Amino acid sequence: MPDANASVSQAAGHWQRAALQPGLSPSERIQHIQQGLDAAERALAIDPRAVDALAFKHLLLRLAASLETDAAARDALLRQADEARTRAVTLQNMRDAGFVE
């Protein structure tokens, strides 16, 4: 069975480059954001309860929203980010309480 951790690591790397690497153009940031989101989705396809994948999905979507100029598209990205964060927090709370592995 594939391991979600490799995809989570890829998502983390793309978030780090998109958010923190100086000198990137907006299109390069968007490319890293999309690659990071793709990696997070791969991790979630392997393990739908991958809290770290949801956390990076949240961060990447927020970063995408910060670059979006269309208000409706920005709002949609922020809603998706909030959904990912809420799901991550819920899963982590359930894990902490011993309800899920």
Residue with tokens 């968007």: 30
pLDDT of residue 60: 99
Question: Cβ-count burial of 69 within 10 angstroms (0-12 exposed, 13-18 middle, 19+ buried)?
Answer: exposed
Domain range annotation of the chain? 4-96
Give me the tens of pLDDT residue by residue for the chain, a chain 101 residues long.
588 999 999 999 999 999 999 999 999 999 999 999 999 999 999 999 999 999 999 999 999 999 999 999 999 999 999 999 999 999 999 999 988 77
Distances, alpha carbon 17 to alpha carbons 12, 49, 90, 99, in Å = 9, 25, 28, 35
Per-residue burial over 75-89, b if 16 or more Cβ lie within 10 Å, else e, is: eebbebbeebbebbe
